[in-house]
Chains A and B, each alone.
Chain A
Amino acid sequence: MKITMAHGSGGESTSALIKDVFSKYFKNEILDKLEDSAVVSGSSKIAVTTDSFVVTPLVFPGGDIGRLSVCGTVNDILMSGATPKYITCGAVLEEGLDIDLLDKIIASMAETAKEAGVIIVTGDTKVIENRGAEPGLIINTSGIGFIDETKESVGPYNLKDGDKLIITGNLGDHHAAILGCRMGIENNIKSDCAPLGDFVGKLKDADIRVHAMRDVTRGGLGTVLNEFASASCCNIELSEEALPVEPSVKEFCGLLGLDPMYMGNEGKAIISVHKDDAERALSLIKSAKYGENAAIIGEVIKNNKPDADNNVILNTKLGGKRIIGLMYGEGLPRIC
């Protein structure tokens, strides 16, 4: 069965689609009321985020657009120091989309939400005409998380002199998996898309002094670190040797002339922690889900002069120094 324009009419077909696919997997007390708005209990301070997902192919090694759409939003909430609670799901379906495929993606979304400890409280579907070859699917998710005001705030402006930077796993996996699919390069690279609540929670419970935290998505580590450096007016020094990159991903990058430093991930975070907590934080992350390849990759060097450049400097394996600038060059295909 395929999606037709009738599925977007608001009539019988729409109700059937919602009942047979979305409600079937998203079952929970709030959503099941099918009201115009979900009414939920809250906290005095909340984090709110939204993100749209347009990745092709819809299913890729290591994940699919459904899992991705939950992970992306949940991780954005986690990175602001909040605990994710609720998410929404807006789906724009293209005419001709296979309903079995949609079913699989929505099931994966529900499963990922369960893993991430969030509930999908409201949703919407629309159908649009087929715009090209392969019928597509676009998903938007918004998320709400609760902030514990007794904890120190985290943010890119908050890096401290001497902080250690921890990357929670290998760079570039998601990007390489998607590009590999698109370019027909056969390999075993899998997307890393995953909700990162486990190690974030462990760091919180252990009172690790986390100063800044960001998921490393589009633009890659190089882009995030430049944002850190300019928001906190500091230099960041990295060790090339310490950067974890899976050998097949590294070679994939070599083939296509890409730099893992600018490759997107969907299940990795870069965390700036107080230097005295770094080793403890590293072993907590390594013992948590999706953190086994974590590594300390660099440190923060506070700038004194207000007009100084805020640079990200890579100490290369060869023994040289290279400035990691913002990402320029080819607009790589969209990967999320």
Chain B
Amino acid sequence: MIGADINAIAEQLKNYDGEEVRIMEVCGTHTASISENGIPSMLSPKIKLISGPGCPVCVTVTAVIDKLVELSMREDTVVLTFGDLIRVKGTNKSLADAKADGAHVKMVYSPMETVTMAEKDPDHTYVFAAIGFETTAPVYANVLNEAVNKGLDNVKLLTSLKTMPQVIRWVVNNGGGIDGFIAPGHVAAITGSDIFKALSEELGLPFVVSGFEGEQLLLTIYALLRMKGNKGIKNLYKSVVTSEGNIKAKEMVDKYFEPSDASWRGMGKIQGSGLVLRKEYEKFDAGSRDLDEDHMPPGCSCASVLVGKIKPSDCPMFGKMCTPDNAHGACMVSTEGSCYNYFVSGRK
């Protein structure tokens, strides 16, 4: 794609011998792409990539899972979910465990299926486990919009929606000395790159909005290397990210949701870091407010991993007690989790 230049960049990244740079990718899809492309093996040991809190499954507190499990066991309710969430343990059970016990849990590809299923089966309430960031929030808003238009009252959301700027600020103030951020490309497709511009000004750190191909990520890492020590924003994903984002989608989100405080796994409550349904649409809420409880398994270091204080492989449980087949922490369950990606791609 970028031909000879990418080789020149790769060479510079391999041979970099300046001060150590710590770069955080906050998006789980970036984490997965970095592993798949073998990017860590292409970097100088002085460039450290740190996976941030950008996998929605990994940052969901146990109270949300517990609530979903409870709902799924009701006679008149069906819980719909993305595949990744199904194996994450709540206080006692995961949705997969509940399903094995006969609860109503269905894995779907798109939240839009909630409307289709609810329409066909008016005797059951269909609850979608609405986890995600700014990218997915408009999809849920669209589900509600359809439900409203069709006059369906058996569609509900259990929301655990989170927003990026607030958690990035929290990570900088509580984390392990990040020098720059790979800004989440698909979040930015919705929000626009301007939100990261404001954040960069405030935190005095560089942000680069990146695509998801290996070449794009290399280019982004290189840009951050050059921007180290300075604030600034660079949009290297111009084909889909504009400065103002998807206005129609943002309006749709605004119509149904409002900002709120949100609880993050291992990090506690972060002010203004979430979205909840507006009061006037409360009837679509399956009970999402005040789900703050968070039972971390003893010994699990997910919290320190999520803010970049330690690498997954520094956790004493990593690869020993905690593996993808027997995951203790949420970061090992999700295919976008930092621990999962470290484990399956042999990163150390």
Is A–B contact present in the complex under a CB 8 A cutoff? yes
Take A183-B109, A318-B42, A318-B215 as given contacts and tell me if A323 and B345 are in contact as well, using a CB distance cutoff of 8 Å. yes
Chain A residues with CB under 8 Å of B36's CB are 259, 316, 322
20 A-B residue pairs with Cβ-Cβ distance under 8 Å, sorted by A, are A256-B109, A311-B346, A318-B37, A318-B214, A318-B218, A319-B10, A320-B42, A321-B38, A321-B41, A322-B36, A322-B41, A323-B344, A323-B345, A323-B346, A325-B343, A325-B345, A328-B323, A328-B343, A328-B344, A330-B87
Q: How far is the CA of A330 from the CA of B41 in the complex (A)?
A: 27
Q: How far is the CA of A316 from the CA of B218 in the complex (A)?
A: 13
Q: Chain A nearest CB: distance from B15 CB in Å?
A: 14
Whether the Cβ atoms of B38 and A314 lie closer than 8 Å is yes
A317 close to chain B: CB less than 8 A: yes
Chain A residues with CB under 8 Å of B214's CB are 316-318, 320
Question: Size of chain B's interface in residues, with CB distance under 8 A?
Answer: 26
- CB closest residue in chain B, given A323: B346
Take A256-B109, A322-B36 as given contacts and tell me if A330 and B346 are in contact as well, using a CB distance cutoff of 8 Å. no
Q: How far is the CA of A259 from the CA of B343 in the complex (A)?
A: 16
Whether the Cβ atoms of A257 and B335 lie closer than 8 Å is yes
A247 close to chain B: CB less than 8 A: no
List A residues 280-336 near B (Cβ within 8 Å): 311, 314-323, 325, 328-330
Whether the Cβ atoms of B35 and A322 lie closer than 8 Å is yes
Chain B residues with CB under 8 Å of A328's CB are 323-325, 340, 343-344
- CB closest residue in chain B, given A316: B38
Whether the Cβ atoms of A322 and B335 lie closer than 8 Å is no
Take A257-B335, A330-B83 as given contacts and tell me if A320 and B37 are in contact as well, using a CB distance cutoff of 8 Å. yes
Chain B residues with CB under 8 Å of A323's CB are 344-346
Q: Chain A nearest CB: distance from B150 CB in Å?
A: 21
> Interface 1/0s, chain B 306-348, versus A by CB < 8 A?
0000000000000000011100000000010000100111100
Whether the Cβ atoms of A320 and B41 lie closer than 8 Å is yes
Q: How far is the CA of A328 from the CA of B87 in the complex (A)?
A: 12
Q: Chain B nearest CB: distance from A116 CB in Å?
A: 36
Q: How far is the CA of A319 from the CA of B13 in the complex (A)?
A: 12
Chain A residues with CB under 8 Å of B37's CB are 316-318, 320, 322
- CB closest residue in chain B, given A185: B109
Whether the Cβ atoms of B109 and A320 lie closer than 8 Å is no
- CB closest residue in chain A, given B11: A319
- CB closest residue in chain B, given A317: B214
- CB closest residue in chain A, given B323: A328
Whether the Cβ atoms of B335 and A329 lie closer than 8 Å is yes
Take A257-B335, A330-B335 as given contacts and tell me if A320 and B346 are in contact as well, using a CB distance cutoff of 8 Å. no
Which residue numbers of A lie inside 8 Å of B, CB to CB? 183, 256-257, 259, 311, 314-323, 325, 328-330
Contacting B346 at CB < 8 Å: which of A256, A316, A325? A325
Q: Chain A nearest CB: distance from B42 CB in Å?
A: 5
Chain B residues with CB under 8 Å of A256's CB are 109
Q: How far is the CA of A329 from the CA of B332 in the complex (A)?
A: 9
Q: Chain A nearest CB: distance from B10 CB in Å?
A: 6
Additional 6 contacts, C-beta under 8 A, given A316-B36, A329-B324: A316-B38, A320-B39, A323-B344, A323-B346, A325-B344, A328-B340
Q: How far is the CA of A183 from the CA of B218 in the complex (A)?
A: 34
Chain B residues with CB under 8 Å of A318's CB are 10, 37-39, 42, 214-215, 218
Chain A residues with CB under 8 Å of B39's CB are 318, 320
Q: How far is the CA of A183 from the CA of B214 in the complex (A)?
A: 29
- CB closest residue in chain A, given B215: A318
Q: How far is the CA of A322 from the CA of B36 in the complex (A)?
A: 7
Chain B residues with CB under 8 Å of A317's CB are 37, 214
Whether the Cβ atoms of A320 and B38 lie closer than 8 Å is yes
Chain B residues with CB under 8 Å of A183's CB are 109
B40 close to chain A: CB less than 8 A: yes
Q: Chain A nearest CB: distance from B26 CB in Å?
A: 19
Q: Chain B nearest CB: distance from A250 CB in Å?
A: 13
Chain B residues with CB under 8 Å of A329's CB are 324, 335, 340
> Interface 1/0s, chain B 77-88, versus A by CB < 8 A?
000000110110
Q: Chain B nearest CB: distance from A245 CB in Å?
A: 14
Chain B residues with CB under 8 Å of A314's CB are 38
Q: How far is the CA of A256 from the CA of B109 in the complex (A)?
A: 8
Q: How far is the CA of A316 from the CA of B345 in the complex (A)?
A: 12
Q: Chain A nearest CB: distance from B338 CB in Å?
A: 15
Q: How far is the CA of A71 from the CA of B156 in the complex (A)?
A: 46
Central interface residue in A315, A316, A322, A325, by most chain B CB within 10 Å: A322
Whether the Cβ atoms of A320 and B340 lie closer than 8 Å is no
Chain A residues with CB under 8 Å of B38's CB are 314-316, 318-322
Chain A residues with CB under 8 Å of B335's CB are 257, 329-330
- CB closest residue in chain A, given B213: A318
Chain B residues with CB under 8 Å of A320's CB are 37-42, 214
Q: How far is the CA of A325 from the CA of B341 in the complex (A)?
A: 11
Chain B residues with CB under 8 Å of A257's CB are 335
List B residues 239-253 near A (Cβ within 8 Å): none
Chain A residues with CB under 8 Å of B83's CB are 330
Q: How far is the CA of A319 from the CA of B214 in the complex (A)?
A: 10
Q: How far is the CA of A322 from the CA of B347 in the complex (A)?
A: 8
Central interface residue in B35, B36, B87, B340, by most chain A CB within 10 Å: B36
Q: Chain B nearest CB: distance from A103 CB in Å?
A: 33
Q: How far is the CA of A315 from the CA of B42 in the complex (A)?
A: 11
Q: How far is the CA of A322 from the CA of B32 in the complex (A)?
A: 12
Q: How far is the CA of A328 from the CA of B39 in the complex (A)?
A: 21
- CB closest residue in chain A, given B334: A329
Chain B residues with CB under 8 Å of A319's CB are 10, 38, 42
- Please list the 6 inter-chain residue pairs (A to B) with the smallest Cβ-Cβ separation, ordered nearest first: A320-B38, A323-B346, A328-B324, A318-B214, A322-B38, A321-B41
Q: Chain A nearest CB: distance from B186 CB in Å?
A: 14
Q: How far is the CA of A320 from the CA of B41 in the complex (A)?
A: 6
Q: Chain A nearest CB: distance from B199 CB in Å?
A: 29
